[in-house]
Structure 1
């Protein structure tokens, strides 16, 4: 087998994804534009959604789970009066209602969607049902009984009420939140039905949409040193973990995948940490009182 073509570059590129493209196609474009050997994304966005899509390159792909687990912020508009097969504007209308909620009713209903909630994913989602993705089954017209799953909602607030038919909301939540489910369930709770009209991911962990590159910028800067300069450090993907510093000998041991000595204070035994040497990440692992047992090692 020949070597996978491309450069060994590591770091993050933040894209402000436009509507109408898949997350996978954005990864492909970024990988091509940087001539990178390896790329992946942290947290899929629906094709119709816009906003932060963080693309990990090279060794940064090992930090993707930490960004997937990080808190995220969504701005979205709920349209009242209809439920759809996809819980967004793309799907077929299933049912309609002439009822419209008051501002007060909306504010009162939002309380049930904050804190620890249980959420049933949309019929069209990336959840796997007996080995098949839910959206593939839904497109075949199979109605599924998807299991409710827990979600932490830090905040959910009204941003604007443009008219009787719509409300704009902002939600900060943990891993695995479906904005379309919030719209669907809020519409049901208010007795008027609802679906997502549009959706934007404002930030995801340390990455912000307003600092993201557009696909046009990526096209323009493709294969240039200017695009390389947009690469953010791999270490940003470890933002939510405490940092400990390796000793000289510890760094060598850790880089070979062995437990290594670190300098740390105030870190509890068994805590997941990232280990640095001269500011660069060399490993992620468990702090075991004076040394770290690595789970992931960064080779660069």
Structure 2
């Protein structure tokens, strides 16, 4: 018989304004401790030196993480022109330099090729798995790897400021799986001057905004008190982009047991992915078929 995990059965989302200098996993561990929660996870890793929105899922909300990671997200970042580094950010070693400094018009023109459906090669220092091992572990050993390009949707990429000749400030809205460091690297290559990320901040991710985020200091101050619980956002916020269907009482029972259940679904089409509610709470996520929801994820929220 497996050991039962200790902690509270608490479900929902907490938005953290992550500081630089700490890993996303460390933030999740801090939040789990502060709530004394049984289970926690996050929706989208931020590099240790990056700041901004880190949405932490508690309890049953961990089952809804894919619906947040699939959503659009926005980044503000500064690119240092004239230098390439082995990590594609300021923490790495400079491996190439150039005296060329393109003007604003050249940069704006180059940015156009990064918008829409593009192919992007992740950085050598990334969590991508190569033959079962994280790329960053092999990169630390001095190995240079061939990493396959991956599709990325970029909704917008704008030049917002030019503080000096060496730096440009950009704002990007993109889909899941994007590496801002790769954008900086590839932009520098396209301009012929090299480039890497100097600063990076995620300003929003799906339904979550940095303005609503708690600092780690605030989490420490409110840890294990009702004041911190008051900042939990409902699990259902993850379904902002999905249609809601309403389960009948019998349908809710069937859905909670993992079986197809009857739902009322005006305006929903056959085959749509939906979330089902009963008495205002999420019951399941699944596929709508002829009056029933066929669940792919069952949500058992503790009242």
TM-score, with length taken from structure 1: 0.99
Deviations 1:172-201 (A, max 9, x none): 000100000000000011011000000000
Q: In the alignment, what sits opposite 1:234? A: 235
Alignment partners' CA distance in 1, 2:237 and 2:290:
25
RMSD: 0.7
Matched, 1:281 2:276: no
Structure 2, unpaired ranges of 5+: none
Alignment partners' CA distance in 1, 2:158 and 2:290:
43
Matches within 5 A, 1:71-220: 71-220=72-221
Structure 1, unpaired ranges of 5+: none
Alignment partners' CA distance in 2, 1:242 and 1:141:
48
Matches within 5 A, 1:6-45: 6-45=7-46
SS at match of 1:121: coil
Deviations 1:195-221 (A, max 9, x none): 000000000000001110000000000
Alignment partners' CA distance in 2, 1:210 and 1:224:
22
Runs of 4+ in 1 over 6 A off after TM superposition: none
Alignment partners' CA distance in 1, 2:224 and 2:40:
15
- Per-residue deviation at 1:164? 0.5
TM-score, with length taken from structure 2: 0.98
Alignment partners' CA distance in 2, 1:136 and 1:25:
19
Alignment partners' CA distance in 1, 2:280 and 2:153:
32
Q: In the alignment, what sits opposite 2:249? A: 248
- Per-residue deviation at 1:2? 3.5
SS at match of 1:223: coil
Alignment partners' CA distance in 1, 2:128 and 2:16:
24
- Per-residue deviation at 1:248? 1.4
